[in-house]
Structure 1
């Protein structure tokens, strides 16, 4: 696969959109939205996985205003520094940046067959927000902490969206996820999956403190299966 960058231009500047192009040179677009660790080794490996499945993957540097190129290690120090950094992240501005990055990705000549989004943690919240604001073909939101508190956005979503959570997530209590499950009941375009024995960031195979291998495998099968149905890459 090839890699390159595009620049996303917004009123107060510009930031990089890291791209992974599948071997055949084109495919559906997939905006990959970062955790607080930034465009880390984990996000890059996920991007390679998705590009290998036929997607044109774009990962925007959403911390460009406060720490350009942020890519923390997945250890205690990296977590502490990332948590400090995210306290300075303006979420509303991040939503606007996400929408701008989606527009750039969707407009690339390599992108055919629509575009969607997939995000983890902070990125899971942003993928949800994007689905309420942009013409995404599909979106997957992994453990987005803002989701249970913004259920009013569900009425603005017409695209298929999959939500995934850990049942033992200390940051997103199970009863909050239950409110989401109740809210999406009867909405055929929305689905919620809970890995009951997993905590937060269970898919992050670079973070030993969070990774839950069994839940990660199950969750990734659900996510890629969902994308194959609603944003097929044909590979």
Structure 2
């Protein structure tokens, strides 16, 4: 699978990124893949390559580029209870500093980059996110309804909050099809009901599903939360969503 390490010009500098795409020279739909809070690392590159093998040009930017190139902090090969607290102590200030305004400014650059690539077809793109990336994928779709036809978020964080600009409150502006695959404790029952109600009221074509027996982070093979069945269910939901919305099914 061909891959590239890239530098993408943004309004605030240059974001390093990883891209994977099919070997043959045809054009393919673009997918903007938003990393989890742990950052751009080998497991995300492997997942991008897996997705590219199904016929997509997959772009994975380093969302923390303002602090340096990935890995911005040293990430253990395996993240378990013994090193998680120390790692997240370093990561969370960067997570909190990535405001919706900054993330959307960056999203414009990422989508423009995808549109300029000769390997990317001219149709709509998908936005896929893990952990904090789920909310960013939704925000990107709302900001660019003419470009983003599919949103998927897995073990997403921060979808339903009390903030006036909570992602779930943006549902009336959504035109993309949506799937959220939740770990068992990502949202309370009340939070899920509030998310469902917002999406229903907006007439969004969506699915919100709790993946049984999973912990937050279940798709990530380099963490103690990894669940092989959850990862497979994620592919079983993601690939049909992209296929029917991006004209690649």
Question: Contact 2:176–2:204 (CA<8 Å) still a contact in 1?
Answer: no
- The answer as to 2:43 corresponding to 1:42 is yes
Structure 2 equivalent of residue 167 of structure 1: 184
Name which of 130, 136, 143 aligns with 1:126: 136
With normalisation by structure 1, the TM-score equals 0.89
Whole-angstrom distance in 1 between the partners of 2:38 and 2:90: 11
Question: Which structure 2 residue ranges, 5 or more long, are not aligned?
Answer: none
Question: 1:184–1:191: 8 Å Cα contact kept in structure 2?
Answer: no
Q: Determine if the alignment matches structure 1 residue 145 to structure 2 residue 157.
A: yes
Unaligned 5+ residue runs, structure 1?
none
* Cα distance in 2, alignment partners of residues 58 and 184 from structure 1: 27
> Structure 1 residues 227, 82: CA separation in 2 closer, same or farther (over 3 Å shift)?
same
List aligned pairs for 1:61-140, cutoff 5 A.
Answer: 61-70=62-71, 72-73=75-76, 74-76=78-80, 77=83, 80-88=86-94, 89-92=97-100, 93-112=102-121, 113-134=123-144, 135-140=147-152
Alpha carbons 2:131, 2:217 under 8 Å: kept: yes
Dislocated runs of 4+, deviation >3 Å: none
- For 2:63 and 2:129, locate their aligned partners in 1 and report how far apart those are by CA, in whole Å: 12
Aligned residues: 231
Q: Is the 8 A contact 1:168 1:174 kept in 2?
A: no
Contact map agreement 2:154 2:181 (CA 8 A) in 1: yes
Hey, what's the Cα distance between the residues in 2 that align with 1:83 and 1:155? 35
Aligned mates of 2:50, 2:194 — CA distance in 1: 32
**SS class of match (1:132):** helix
C-alpha contact (below 8 Å) 1:142/1:164 kept by paired residues: yes
* 1:185 paired residue among 181, 192, 200: 200
Q: Which residue of 1 aligns with 2:229?
A: 214
Kept in 2: contact 1:17–1:101 (CA 8 A): no
In 1, distance between residues paired with 2:192 and 2:89? 22
Shift of 1:216: 2.2
Match of 1:194 among 207, 210, 222: 210
Q: How many angstroms apart in 2 are the aligned matches of 1:80 and 1:157?
A: 37
Quote the RMSD (CA, aligned, Å): 2.0
